[in-house]
Structure 1
Amino acid sequence: MRTILIPVTALLAVLVGCAPSPSSAAGAGDAPSAGAGAVTLTSCGLDVTVPAPPQRAVTLEQGATELLLALGLEDRMVGTSYLTDAVAPEYADAYAAVPVLAAQYPTAEQLRAADPDFVYSMRASAFGPDAVGARAELADLGVPAYLSANDCEDPSLVTGDTGFDRIFAEVTDLAAVFGVEDRGAELVREQQEVLDAVTASAADAGDLDVAWLYSTIDGAPIVAGGTGLPQTLTELAGGRNAFADLDAQWAETSWDEIAQRDPDVLVLADLSRGLAGDSAADKTAMLRDDTVTAELSAVRADRLVAIPATEMDPSVRSVDALATLSDALVGFAGADAGADA
């Protein structure tokens, strides 16, 4: 979950460039097809045609930025924006070489100044009227814009489970757009190996109840419900989401409700935006100091797992969250077995 603060600005007026205007189409995340040197794919119901591999790409938030960096495309990026966490260490050097257009979403003027030939975001809010403008408008001005199938402008287009098939499809899409299909296939292969290893060890995870704590709003905890990526990660790792009955990706609950469900494990989002209570260390201290939460089984047994908040959204880093959770659950279950022996 992310809190998006969007600066008010005018819509994008003019962008240099020329590309075919997309036509609307049903579906999202369809496999790319190429013809006459161009790549056309469907992104959240909109046909996106890229006439040639981009050389001046702009990414509008961290997930999109890190995916292109994972594909080794920093030399074809002329702008990035909106970090919600620290950039992953493996991408830090490449990220440092890319101009940062804005702390949050860039304004229309900032995007225009970068003269992009491709724009990419994993968050629909980036293409809102107070951000860089609608993707169809950008395409009409010669700038194809791709949006992740996990967060379409039209929520009805976000169908099916939030899982790695969709993440891998996005990697494949972007690799095709940039003409680096081999890099995309290798990245998918590497991440599939992690999934296979986690699946093989899931039976050793002890079927523990897991609650994901993202943050608090006016003191009320925000936990992962049954429709988002944490649900998928928990199932793959061999655990059970203690709040799977909540029909939402993230939902507000109460500390009393958490105490009643008393999960075996608490996963703590580690946010680096600097607000009080955001870091995993702050959350750990709060849980141990409060008289109610200090009695939770997960707190008393020190079954607290810190995971960067960015990894809790579908992205190229989600596999890292899966590996961290899997290792923790297997370790906790093994310790229990040893204690019972």
Structure 2
Amino acid sequence: MKRLLTALALLLSVSPALAETTVKSCNRDVTFDHPPKAAVSNDVNLTEMMLVLGLRDRMVGYTGISGWKTLDEKMREGIAELPELSEKYPSKEVLIGADADFYFAGWNYGMKVGGEVTPETLEPFGIKVYELTESCIHIGGKPKVTMEDMYNDLLNLGRIFDVEDKAEALVAGYRQELEEFRATLKTTSEPLKVFVYDSGEEKPFTAGRYAMPTALIEAAGGVNVLDDFEKSWATIDWETVVEKNPDVVVIVNYGNVTAEQKRNFMRSNPALAKINAVKNNRFVTLDYVQATPGPRNIEAVKTLASAFWGQ
């Protein structure tokens, strides 16, 4: 009997170690000794990643959606029973007050470099942070954005919340869907030149080399004219856009300024009216949740390809 009790004690003593999960989050290794039970996600696309993995019952709320007016009907159904803890970026007090034990966010997706809410400032309160892969460029070097950035986040969330099988099946499905779609895509030998117009009239806010639209555009048979812009989401000048002369403009739809208003601005500007995309009225709209890393990225590729090639 004594030997049996000793064996059980040894088994119990090692089981927590066996349950540990470590994932890479930007430049950090983050270890979880158990799946989070009180998670908070920031922004609509990160929240959708949580929902598509069936993690709503592990969440105590979300932040950063209504303040940017990115919520749509599909999303509204998914979060109906969850409170929005903050309309825009949350404060440290908001997360602590919600008794959160996990925060899924990114740099410029709920956290700012040197800001109040970071992995380091939340650690003393027992709140672990996983950072959106696309956003890691803000704190160090990373490869150019690809669809793998989004897949990586889903797979890591699967490991963190012990739903790895579901995450792997989901990502495998996305990969297959995209591969099959691209196999039927008929393009020209030269990829279409594409400019992403997020917002701004004096100067445009756009997607550079490390922002998700670059990967989406490439998957649809185009090339971001700012593929050489060593930024993620950032501001440039209109002169650069005119010089690049894109064939198509992708408009990111969210906030108070509508996609139609953005189109009309470009059409009415004498300098911009000369570029091929505007002259030929070649605009395509992506909702914010499609243009940022998340479950609607495959849908976004199909939307772009349809506009690029009429398929």
- Interval containing the TM-score (normalised by the shorter chain): 0.7 to 0.9
Instruction: Note if 1:87 corresponds to 2:71.
Output: yes
Contact 1:198 1:326 in 2 (8 A): no
Shift of 1:220: 2.0
Q: Deviations over 1:41-61 (max 9, x none)?
A: 231232322222222111133
The within-5 A match list for 1:296-335 is 296-331=275-310
Q: Distance in 1 between matches of 2:114 and 2:210?
A: 27
> Which residue of the partner structure matches residue 155 of structure 1?
139
Instruction: Give the Cα separation in 1 of the matches to 2:204 and 2:293.
Output: 21
Alignment of 1:188-337 (within 5 A): 188-204=171-187, 207-216=191-200, 219-271=202-254, 273-274=255-256, 278-331=257-310
Aligned residue for 1:52? 34
The aligned counterpart of 1:26 is none
Match 2:111 to one of 126, 129, 144: 126
Q: How far off its partner does 1:97 sit?
A: 1.3
Name the CA shift for 1:99/1:244 in 2 (closer, same or farther; >3 Å).
same
- Gaps of at least 5 residues in structure 1 are 1-33, 335-341
Cα offsets for 1:228-285 (capped at 9, x unmatched): 32222222211132333333334544444433433221111112x21xxx32111112
Distance 1:203 1:35 in 2: 51
Q: Percent identity, please.
A: 28
Aligned positions of 1:63-82 closer than 5 A: 63-82=45-64
1:253–1:92 CA distance, 2 compared to 1 (3 A): same
Residue segments in structure 2 that go unaligned for 5+ positions in a row: 1-15
For residues 173 and 129 of structure 1, the distance between their equivalents in structure 2, rounded to whole angstroms, comes to: 25
Could you say if the C-alpha distance between residues 301 and 99 of structure 1 is closer, same or farther in structure 2, counting changes exceeding 3 Å? same
Structure 1 pair 88–190 and aligned structure 2 pair: CA distance change class (3 A): farther
Partners of 2:92 and 2:122 within 8 A in 1: no
Q: Structure 1's 131 and 202: CA in aligned 2 closer, same or farther, altered over 3 A? A: farther
The aligned residue for residue 23 of structure 2 is 41
Taking structure 1 as reference, are residues 72 and 85 closer, same or farther at Cα in structure 2, changes over 3 Å only? farther
Q: Is the 1:120–1:147 Cα contact (8 Å) retained in structure 2?
A: yes
- Structure with greater helix percent: 2
Counterpart for residue 144 of structure 1: 128
Q: Please, what is the CA RMSD of the aligned residues?
A: 2.6
